[in-house]
Structure 1
Amino acid sequence: MTSEILLPAHSVPRAGAVLNPFVIVDDAAGLITFVSEVFDVTETAEARTPMPDGTLIHAELRLGTVDLMVGDRRDGWPARPALLQLWVRDVAPPLERATARGATVVTEPTSFYGETTLARMLDPWQNLWWLYAPAPGQPDPTPHWDGGSDTVFATLDYALRSMAR
């Protein structure tokens, strides 16, 4: 179904996505370095917009066709980290890189529905990342209500409740 509201994907400037997340954090430059190193992407240099004090009001990293926009929290602004889903070739390498840079594993690599593997991590800026990787031939897990593991929900529930404290 075509939306009468959304711009068609082929019309988005710079071959971008129709929806792009924007996070406001303390130390945006640090988050940019983290994302660059963990996911092997580069910042879009021409998008970097520093304030006179050196903080960033806007910066971008391209992940696939999506721009992750990042800015520094200003006085009086709340931090606005995100919940981010990212498809990767294999969840293990970025998870290892991320934990070496201060991230915490929320969900260890776990079989998920639709022949995928899921892992979650919380970065030092409180962004919660869902990492999905294709796992052809991997059977779907047994649902918790049918006697299977509740790891996928329980780890997320624990992480979000911990963040609320």
Structure 2
Amino acid sequence: MFIPAGFATVAPYLVVDGAAAYIDFLVAALDGVHVGSSIRPDGVVANGQVSFGGGEHAATIMVSEAQPGFPAGAAQIYLFVEDADAAMAKAVAHGATSIMEADDRPYGDRQGGIVDPWQTTWWISQRLTADAYSFE
């Protein structure tokens, strides 16, 4: 099985209204890196790719413009960052709405939540320990 560099076995694919503007938001507000986009003949994004993180933990998501048969839909994404408070503040400064302030959680993350202007919920988490999650 071949999986492109920067992707995992499971890759989020977000369908939104205003895909080009959404990619700009992901880059500006959440420190994503725009890998590239395929543009349809009508000028809208057929498939855009935005990468987060780096090295062995890099993850790429795909973004596409909504169209008949493929409507925009809400999603929730868990995003690991170096500094949850700073990442939350930056996202809010770029138009996201805070839905849960960053706080230390019992499972070892400092986590907060935002909803971006396209209605995707981002759980912004700073892992505070190298321990694996415990499911006891």
For structure 2, the residue ranges without an aligned partner over 5 or more in a row are 130-136
> Match for 1:51 among 40, 50, 65?
40
Structure richer in strand, relative to its length: 2
The offset of 1:111, in angstroms, is 1.6
Determine the structure 2 residue equivalent to 1:29.
20
Which residue in 2 is equivalent to 1:83? 76
Match of 1:19 among 4, 10, 13: 10
TM-score (norm 2): 0.83
Give how far 1:134 is off: 2.3
What is the rounded CA distance, in whole Å, between the counterparts of 1:40 and 1:91 in structure 2? 13
Kindly provide the CA deviation profile for residues 133-157 of structure 1, in whole angstroms up to 9, marking residues without a partner as x.
0235xxxxxxxxxxxxxxxxxxxxx
Cα separation, 1, equivalents of 2:6 and 2:24: 24
Cα distance in 2 for partners of 1:66, 1:42 equals 10
Q: Answer 1 or 2: higher relative contact order, Cα 8 Å, separation at least 6.
A: 2
Contact between 2:84 and 2:112, CA under 8 Å: does it hold in 1? yes
Query: Normalising by the residue count of structure 1, what TM-score does the alignment of the two structures yield?
Result: 0.70
Q: What secondary structure, in the 3-state scheme, does the structure 1 residue paired with 2:77 have?
A: strand
**Structure holding more helix per residue:** 1
**Structure 1's 44 and 15: CA in aligned 2 closer, same or farther, altered over 3 A?**
closer
Stretches of structure 1 that go unaligned for 5 or more consecutive residues are 1-6, 137-165
**Structure number with bigger Rg:** 1
Would you say the 8 A contact 2:31–2:52 is kept in 1? no
> How far is 1:60 from its partner?
0.3
Identity of aligned residues (%): 28
2:32 corresponds to: 41
Output one character per residue of 1:62-120: Cα deviation in whole Å (capped at 9) or x when no partner: 11322110000013532123110011111122211211121100000122123321100
Q: How many residues align?
A: 125
Q: Which runs of 4+ in 1 moved over 3 A?
A: none
